[in-house]
Structures are given as C-alpha cells and as structure tokens.
Amino acid sequence: MKFGRYLTVMASTWVLAALAVAAFTLLADAVGISPVGVAIAGFNACMAQGA
Amino acid sequence: MLFNSYQFIFVFLPAACVSYFLVARFWGRRAGMAVLVAASLFFYGWWNERYLWILLLSIGCNAGFAIALIRGEKNQRFWILLVGLGFNLFLLGYFKYASFVAANVSALFDLDWQVEPMPLPLGISFFTFQKIAFLIDTYIGGVVSFNLLHYSLFVTFFPQLIAGPIVRHNEIIPQFRHLPRTPRASDFAIGGSIFAIGLFKKVCLADLSAPWVNPVFAAAESGATVSFVDAWVAAFAYSFQLYFDFSGYTDMAIGLARLFGIVLPINFYSPYKSVNIIEFWRCWHISLSRFLRDFIYIPLGGNRHGATRRYANLGAAMLLGGLWHGAAWTFVLWGGVHGLMLVINHAWHYLRRRIGLPPGNDPAYVRVAACALTFIAVTSAWVLFRASSLGSAGAMLSAMYGLEGQHTMKVLVEYGRSQWSLLHELRWSESSALWLVLVGSVAFILPNTYQLFKEFRPALVERPFEDVASWPRLRWMPDSRWAVCLSLMLLIAILRIRELSPFIYFQF
C-alpha cells in the first residue's frame, strides 16, 4: 500500500469511528436505552483541571 | 501547551503544519524555518509568556558566545567558553537550585537565608544542556560557521523543546538544509503513526497507572502505615507509569518532528528488558546518558586511569545526573544509588572475565533471572525518584523490604484475622495485579517503537542495537491492518483526554 492510501484509510477509519462514538453518545446514551455510558471531554463531559 | 491536549492536537499542530508548508512552498525553506521558530516560541509562551524572555535571552547570549568562539583568538577561546558555561549554569542554578542551596547552607551553618522557590521555566534543564553541548562542540572545532536561524530552530523546535530528546547540533542542523517544502505522505504516515502510539502510551497506559501509585505515596508521605502489598504494587505501577509517560512523550516528539521531515535521536529502547544496570542505562533516557558520558564521565578521565578512578567518575556522573533531575536530596540519592549499582555491575563483569565466565553468554533462564533482578533494583530506586522526601521514601522502602521489624508478617497476620479486610485487599490486589500484568506485558514482551518502525529509520541511533530482529511479524508497514489499528488507538487516546495531565519529566 502506498503511504498516501495508508493515510486515507487511517483518517477515514478515525472519522467513522469518531462519528460512531458521537452518534452512540447522542442517541442511545441520551435516551437511556444503553447500559454503557460514554463520556467525551468537552462533548458530553466537563474537562477537569489538574493531574 | 501539552501534546496530550485538544488545543495542541486540533488547533496548534494543524496550524503549524499548514503555515510551515504554505510558507516553505511559496517563500522558500528559510521562511518556513522562521515560521517553525515562531510557532515554537508561541508553543513555549502558551505556558507562561514571562519565561519566553528567559528562553530568548538565553538564545541571544549563547549565539553571542558561539560567534565569539568561532571568531575568537586561540588564547581567548577558553575564557569565552568558561563565561558561556558559567552563564548557562548560572541560569539553570538560579531557577532550579537557588532555593535548595540556600535551604541547605542555612541548615548547615545555622543561618537565616531564605529563597522563595519559584516556578521552574519549562524545559530549562533540557535546553540548557543542549546549549552547553553546542558551546563545547564549538570550542573543540565541531562548529565552523554560525547561522542564527538554524541555531534558533535547533534550540526551540517545539517537539523536543520541553523534555528532549537532548539533541546535538550535528544530528539536527544538517537536516535543516533538506527540510521538505511540501508535505511528504511517507513522513506523515510514519510520524502520525509514531505520534498515535506515543499518545496511547501516555494517556492509556501511563495515566491509568497513576491511581495505583498516588494514594500509596501520599499515604507514606502523611505518615500512615503502608502495607507490603500496597508498597510493591505502587512501586511497580510507578515504574510502568514513568516509562510509558516519558517514552510516550518521546514517541510523540519523534513523530511530530517527522511530520516536518526531521529525524530525532532515539531516547528509549525497551529499558526494562535489560539484564543489568549497565544495559539499562544504554536503553533509558539515552540522550541524557550520552550527555553525561560525553561531557562529565569522559572529561573526568572515563576509564583511562584505572578501575578506582573509573568507578569514582561513574559515581560522580550519576550523582550529577541525579541532581539534574531536581533540586532535592531524593534525586541526589537516586543518582548515587544508580552510580553504586553501576560500579557493582562493572566490578561483577570484571570478576566474571577474570574467572573465565565472560558476561553475555548466559543461558535463557539466567537472563530472565537477571532481567527480573535488574527490574526490581530499578523499581526500588524509582521510589527515591518518586517520593517527595527522604522520609516518605524510607517509609515506602521499609514497607517493601520489611525493614520495620516484623511489619510484613504483622500485616499478613492482620489479613488473616479480618476476613472482610482480607477479601477487600484481595479484590484490590487482583485488579492491581491484572493491570500490572497488562502494562508489564507491553513493557517486557512487545517490541518497542524503534523495532516496529526500524525499516523506516524512525530515530537516529549511535550504534545499532542487537535484538532489532525480534517480532518480525509485528513490523509496521503502511497497510490497512496498521492504519485501522493505529487510528482506533488514536481515537481511544483522544477520547481519554479528560484532564490536564502533564508529563512527569516536565518538572525537570
């Protein structure tokens, strides 16, 4: 595989997976039908200060 | 600005890449380098703009010393070097050691000296060492011409500005003449992949080890009793936390530099797989070990004046290496302990050669035992490194080695008496043991980043490592398997960035 194609696969996988997580968080998690809670900083969870 | 922050990943880094490549493409390489210097200064100033002036002052003065060294008469050059070294050491000493020295002199002579501890300018230990190395290299004739733009980028280049690797001018400056003017897919694929591994190590392995470490060290500091099991779990977890934190940072630095076509020197090579302390220091913080060897150990005489002098030189280099990490007796003692272990290791090798059993040809089971012993020795020394005072380090080590009478036995008996307590402790121990096995497997079994990317020259190495052939099936290749795996690791790491978690080595 060429490097350009590798980067395309990497970026598209990342975007698809990120969209899947966001969609799950917005839909399934929000209406309370999922036992799994996903907390994403700055998205549906606050960022905490300090280590 | 931290590498593991949204501001860096989603704003600063894309902006730096786009502006560099745009400017370099239309206005040339030198203009692109100027953009990188500006971006690096912005990156540094984001933390505290007041300390930006110290960095700029230091660059300006060191540039003056370097020019004077190149142009100076032979009889003047030594004095110019002395003034230059004095300036750099004064800067480092003033910010890092003034309070420590004042407190100890006051205690020793019963004086009332007080120097308020001040926030340490970020990365001062790293960039000061880099400038000292440059001045010495200039003095011995290794630098024949000076270019302010090259020098400024050499010092400030943001991937390695805060916590290394400590680079030498002859490794980096020649690369500036061949910086790419357009983005190269190969550099982005390799650099991005190494960055993803580094971020995952930091956020998912190092930061998740912290909960096993911090409460136990805090308890030891407050004077509470720490149990045998807790102390060992915390010490092992800290070994892994520190390794994944610092090697994760280094991977990120190497990956970021690669985006701009720059290859940085290697800093870690699976140090916990070492079978002795000598090997450990060839694989841990390699750029610092190299600095200590070239600028302290060898100038002191190295191994040229007999065994006793060699051991004294080793001890001195390690003591100074310990003090470099921080202005506290715990760091000095940590350096001293490592110096002592190195001396014992060299003496042991000498003895083995004398009796006809030279090191290096041991069977596998001896190597496994030696690796375990080395790891336990290094872990015990990390307690000094992590503890905030000699007292809390002593409490931790006492708990680990049962030095407080029958403490260990007493704890075990107490466990037996209290069923609920025993169950609670076991549950905790099981989860901690699982975590230690997981992170331990990564550190002890899996190949390191250099081995994974070996065919694509991920980092500069002084001399080739022997075992790079391990795990041939796990070599990184630009294929869909690695692309999916690394993009998911990157996503998991980015989703895990929930809090500001500075790198441990930022405090140095």
Q: Give the pLDDT confidence score for residue A1 in this predicted structure.
A: 75
Choose among A9, A11, A48: nearest Cβ to B498: A48
Helix locations, B110-206, DSSP H: 124-139, 148-156, 158-161, 169-176, 185-200
Query: Cβ A2–B497 below 8 Å, yes or no?
Result: no
- Amino acid A51: pLDDT: 35
* Interface mutation vs chain A, best among B182, B456, B484, most A CBs within 10 Å: B484
Is B189's CB within 8 Å of A10's CB?
yes
Q: Give the pLDDT band of residue A43 (cuts 50, 70, 90).
A: low
Q: Which of A10, A38, A41 sits opposite B487 (nearest CB)?
A: A10
Q: How far apart are CA B198 and CA B208, in angstroms?
A: 14
CA angle (B284 as vertex; B230, B175 as ends), nearest 5:
145
Query: Which of B495, B506, B507 has the highest number of chain A CBs within 10 A, making it the mutation to test binding with A?
Result: B495
Q: How far is CA B494 from CA A42, B200, B204, B388, in A?
A: 11, 8, 10, 31
- Report the pLDDT value the prediction gives residue B306, as an integer from 0 to 100: 83
B490 touches chain A (CB under 8 A): yes
Which of B192, B488, B499 lies nearest to residue A13, judging by beta carbons? B488
* DSSP state for residue B464 in the 8-state scheme: -
Test B188 with A7 for CB contact under 8 angstroms.
yes
B487 in contact with A at a CB cutoff of 8 Å?
yes
Which chain B residues are closer than 8 Å to A49 by Cβ? 499-500
Q: Nearest CA to B39 among B59, B60, B23?
A: B23
Contact pairs from chain A to chain B, CB under 8 Å: 76
Of B189, B465, B375, B506, nearest to B197 by C-alpha is B189
Q: Does A33 lie at the interface with B, CB-CB under 8 angstroms?
A: no
A47: which chain B residues are within 8 Å (Cβ-Cβ)? 498-500
pLDDT at residue B23 in the model: 95
Higher per-residue pLDDT: A46 or B172: B172
Query: In chain A, which residues have their Cβ closer than 8 Å to the Cβ of B487?
Result: 9-11, 13-14, 17
Q: Are B160 and B4 in contact (CB under 8 A)?
A: no
Q: What is the pLDDT of residue A44?
A: 62
Q: In chain B, which residues have pLDDT < 70?
A: 403-430, 467-470, 498-503, 505-508
Q: Which of B483, B495, B499 sits opposite A10 (nearest CB)?
A: B483
Q: Which residues of chain B does A5 touch, with a Cβ-Cβ cutoff of 8 Å?
A: 478
Nearest C-alpha neighbor of B335 from the set B373, B301, B296: B296
Rg (CA), chain B: 24
| CA–CA min distance A51, chain B (Å) | 5
- Active site (catalytic) residues of B: 325
Distance set, CA B109 to CA B176, B209, B402, B464 (Å):
52, 42, 36, 51
